[in-house]
Amino acid sequence: MGYNIYLEEYSLKRRTTVSEEQAVSMCREKLGEDEDRFDIDWSKVSSLLDVYEAIGFDTDEELEAIVGYDGRYNDEMIDLLEAIAPSLEDGSYIQFIGEQSEHFRYYFQNGKVYEQEAIIEWPEIKEE
């Protein structure tokens, strides 16, 4: 079970010091090969785009980009985001809207992922 979330925007950049092959290897090592839990056929995973697909993102191989996510928030998704974190540049993020219209994102820094909730603040109206 989970909570419905929808992709709002993202900027996921691979560290230049980490090759695509190293990034996939780090993910495989972090997650183990627990195929029952993650339903990942590692023999078919050759890029971070493949890992994103395993997380549940819709991707476009021609664009080499994520194009959507209309899925469920769950513990497995967080574990997968933690697995890709060491391969992403600081400042990378992926932002969602929850089913109750809340905004939140996962922010990547120093090889870790942090969940942040948006704070919406309306400016005071000043009459002239």
User: Parallel, antiparallel, or unpaired: how do β-strands 58-60 and 3-11 relate?
Assistant: unpaired
Interval 48-99: pLDDT, tens = 888 888 777 888 877 777 888 867 777 777 888 888 899 889 999 999 999 8
Environment class of 121 (CB within 10 Å of its CB; exposed 0-12, middle 13-18, buried 19+): exposed
- For 23, 35, 38, 96, 103, the CA distances from 99, given in Å and listed in that order, are 31, 29, 24, 10, 10
Interval 10-38: pLDDT, tens = 888 888 888 888 888 888 888 776 656 66
